[in-house]
Structure 1
Amino acid sequence: MGQLIKLQDYVSRYEQNIYLYPSRFVRLKKQQWDKLKIGWENGDSSIFQEGFQTHQVSTDWLEDEKQPLMDKLKGLLKFGKSETIDETLFDSELEETEEESEEESLDFNTSFTYRPDTLEDLKYQFLDQIFRFQMKWASSTLTEKSFFDKRYYYDERLKYFLQRFPDTFLVLYHPLFLIKKAPVELETIIINPTGVWCISFVEEEDLSVFIGSKERFWLKRVKGKEKKILNPILALNRTGKIVQQIFTMNEIDFPIYKAVICRNGYIDYPASPFDVQLIEKRNYDEWFNSMRNLRSPLKHNQLKGAQALLQYCQTTSIRRLEWELNDESKNVD
């Protein structure tokens, strides 16, 4: 499944170290899936019933880390929000402690209320649980957290990006970029091993037909009715331009693609811009399968591009209460 490295302006663990977390996520996910699959095949009911009842004391996915972990971590790190952190700056003790916490959290989140009848059903339930786990990584770190809007748990398009694509796809979902000190919300950006995709959706009623043009508005036709919608290519061009500028400033040579997607309807735009792909009902399966079948591993240039983009993203967060109290106690001492 795709990895959510930035959600709006929420603090993200990937911002701390883009070279560490993508591979860690893949490993944690595989470990938990193997454990769950073996338990399912062996009829281990504790995973699906007892385990859930034991751990059902909290459903807050943004719950602060356990106190023993915080006691162990105090004094180990103090990150500034504006610092640029790469893999060489991670202290090994902090890394091990942080990883232990994430493994415990992931293990907790993969408990179910019942044993699925088929392996396929188990896989879908597992993906839903990992989706919620990703929300935690995309909205909190060990020292900070953002105020999370729970509507994202039910965001169909966000789930689409995270659950239908390979682990090597890094997703920035409607990120806020700081451009000349002003926040600008961009379209969804996917960074895969072969390039960057800037994606805009035009989807409403099934079998709608969107008449494209260079004007500010497009025309939507469905069941004999017409309605104007904002031209999606305008926001798409703005997103692509900003990504290109950031890459140029950081001397990153990586292909940038732009696409308007309509999975349940049609786009009629014969004179569409040459640098924008129109993905609609007639050619969607071909495009989707080509993306799904991209099995290339994570690339250095891909991670470098992701790091460059994350550095220009706006982040709004607060320090966790226990870290604030720790800072205050140090000041008193």
Structure 2
Amino acid sequence: MGQLIKMQDYVSRYEQNIYLYPSRYVRLKKHQWEKLKAAWENNDASVFMNQSQEENPDWLEEEKKPLIDKLKGLWKLGKKDNEEEDLLNLDQMDPDNEDSGEEAILQFETKFTYRPDSVEELKHQFLDQLFRFQMKWASSTLTEKSFVDKRFYYDEKLKFFLQRFPDTFLVLYLPLFLLKKAPVEVETIILSPTGVWCISLLEEEDSSVFIGSKERFWVKRVNGEEKKVLNPLLALNRTAKIVHQIFRMNEIDLPIHKVILCRNGYIDHPAAPFDVQMIEKRNYEEWFKGMRNLRSPLKHVQFKAAQALLQYCQTTSIRRLEWEISEEE
């Protein structure tokens, strides 16, 4: 499962220490999955307890949580009753203390309302809960938080980039770069251990055919009808150009790949640019398997590249109420 290091202009824990959180996430996921799988195999009733109703999504719990509960979360660090306190504990760890790191990893706990019928179903539910946990890391820190648009919790494209790729892939999902004091929204950027992938998703109705050209608009054909769509190469080239400039200023040597991804349709471009991969229904599976088979470990140049990109990302957040009150006192 890829790591969401930046989403739009939300504050991210990875911005604080890109060298610490990726490896911590990998250990957390591995430990919790092994623990959960063992509980499933042993039919551990304490893990798969029946409850009257399913847990609410994290964003809904945040809205319903009383103010006093939020304040208690700051001072009662000894309790591990909710995920917010767990995240506070993670931030207070000593990065150089491996023992404290391992202890904090144990704080992420999954919640189930029933025992899944198969390992595959168990894995899907585990990834869904880990996804919500990632959303917290990608929108809050110990002292700050951003207000996440609820649509991202159900964004199939975001889940695709996170749940279908290896843990060593660092994802910037539709980030906003602040260049010359002006925000610029770009396409999704994925940092793998061996390169950078700038990806423009071109997906509408199933089996749509997109006729590419050098013009500002392409033509989409589906069910005998034609419609103009904005040329995805415009945003894709802008994204790759920004990444290239940042890498050049920071002396980062990583290959930059440009991809137009159309999983459910077809692309017909007679004069496609040589430096752009057109991934569509006919060659998607081959490309996808190749990406998933990239099993290289996290690399220093990858962290350096991520740090350079994050430095130019715009962040919009507010101070947590708990910290405002503590400072006044």
* TM-score over 0.5 (shorter chain): yes
Aligned to 1:15: 15
Aligned to 1:35: 35
- How many residue pairs match? The answer is 310
For the 8 Å contact 2:74–2:322, the answer to whether it is kept is no
Q: What are the residue-to-residue correspondences of 1:42-121 with 2, within 5 Å?
A: 42-49=42-49, 59=58, 60=60, 62=62, 67=72, 70=75, 91-92=94-95, 103-104=106-107, 106-107=108-109, 110-121=110-121
Q: What are the residue-to-residue correspondences of 1:175-214 with 2, within 5 Å?
A: 175-214=175-214
Task: Give the drift of 1:67.
Answer: 3.6
Runs of 4+ in 1 over 2 A off after TM superposition: 52-73, 90-104
Q: Does 1:280 align with 2:280?
A: yes
Task: Give the drift of 1:101.
Answer: 6.1
Q: Does 1:143 align with 2:163?
A: no
**1: CA distance, partners of 2:73 / 2:259:** 47
**1: CA distance, partners of 2:124 / 2:152:** 18
Aligned to 2:306: 306
Task: Give the drift of 1:150.
Answer: 1.6
Q: In the superposition, relative to structure 1, how do residues 196 and 61 fare at CA in structure 2: closer, same or farther (>3 Å)?
A: farther
Q: What are the residue-to-residue correspondences of 1:112-261 with 2, within 5 Å?
A: 112-261=112-261
Q: In the superposition, relative to structure 1, how do residues 66 and 34 fare at CA in structure 2: closer, same or farther (>3 Å)?
A: farther
Q: In the superposition, relative to structure 1, how do residues 97 and 147 fare at CA in structure 2: closer, same or farther (>3 Å)?
A: farther
**2: CA distance, partners of 1:185 / 1:123:** 33
Segments of structure 2 that go 5 or more residues without pairing to the other structure are 79-92
Please tell me the root mean square deviation across aligned C-alpha atoms, in Å. Answer: 2.6
For the 8 Å contact 1:61–1:132, the answer to whether it is kept is no
Task: Give the drift of 1:296.
Answer: 0.4
Q: In the superposition, relative to structure 1, how do residues 41 and 91 fare at CA in structure 2: closer, same or farther (>3 Å)?
A: closer
**1: CA distance, partners of 2:299 / 2:220:** 40
Q: In the superposition, relative to structure 1, how do residues 37 and 222 fare at CA in structure 2: closer, same or farther (>3 Å)?
A: same
TM-score by length of 1: 0.87
**2: CA distance, partners of 1:236 / 1:247:** 17
- Say which SS state the counterpart of residue 112 (structure 1) adopts: coil
Task: Give the drift of 1:326.
Answer: 1.3
- Say which SS state the counterpart of residue 46 (structure 1) adopts: coil
Task: Give the drift of 1:56.
Answer: 5.5
Task: Give the drift of 1:65.
Answer: 7.0
TM-score by length of 2: 0.88
For the 8 Å contact 1:69–1:97, the answer to whether it is kept is no
For the 8 Å contact 1:61–1:136, the answer to whether it is kept is no
For the 8 Å contact 1:69–1:101, the answer to whether it is kept is no
- Say which SS state the counterpart of residue 47 (structure 1) adopts: coil
Segments of structure 1 that go 5 or more residues without pairing to the other structure are 74-89
Indicate the percent of aligned positions where both proteins have the same amino acid. Answer: 72
Q: Which moved more, 1:142-151 or 1:52-61?
A: 52-61
Aligned to 1:324: 324
Q: Which moved more, 1:270-279 or 1:235-244?
A: 270-279
**2: CA distance, partners of 1:54 / 1:206:** 35
- Say which SS state the counterpart of residue 126 (structure 2) adopts: helix
Task: Give the drift of 1:57.
Answer: 9.1
